[in-house]
Amino acid sequence: MAAKVDGLEVHAVFGEDAEWLRIGLYYPDDAIGEPEMEAFAPNLYGPRWRKGQRTTQTLPLRDGIKPGCYRLEVEACGPGGVCGRSAAAKLRLSLPDGGKCQGP
């Protein structure tokens, strides 16, 4: 993962077959509910990603993002962007610098 001026570049490896990828960014990192920013990405090169396949997607970041600790969630989704079949992968990170958060 790399923080960029205009977006957060996310490199994912699929643990299961998926038709869509959901990327959500939550602030603060323990927030419950709707993400601050969210993107859904379809597989543009075929009907679905296969287990073990890799992709790189960019989550656009809004100007003036608040500095602090965020939670990034990446989730494989089914047809029509329907998610929730399995748990999302989660990562805590500090933005806008891209470092790791302090604490538990």
pLDDT at 2: 47
- What is the count of structural domains for the chain? 1
76 located within any domain: yes
Of the CA atoms within 13 Å of residue 94, those in its CB half-sphere come to: 7
User: HSE-up of 43 (CA within 13 Å, CB side)?
Assistant: 19
Residue 59 lies in a domain: yes
Q: Provide the residue range defining the domain that includes 81.
A: 2-95
Instruction: Give, for all 104 residues of the chain, the pLDDT tens digit.
Output: 444 457 889 999 999 999 999 999 999 999 999 999 999 999 888 888 999 999 999 998 887 788 899 999 999 998 888 898 889 999 998 887 777 787 66
- Tell me whether residue 54 is in a domain: yes
Q: Report the CATH number at residue 76.
A: 2.60.40
CB atoms within 10 A of CB 21: 22
Q: How far apart are CA 39 and CA 56, in angstroms?
A: 13
Q: Is 49 helix (H, G, I), strand (E, B) or coil?
A: strand
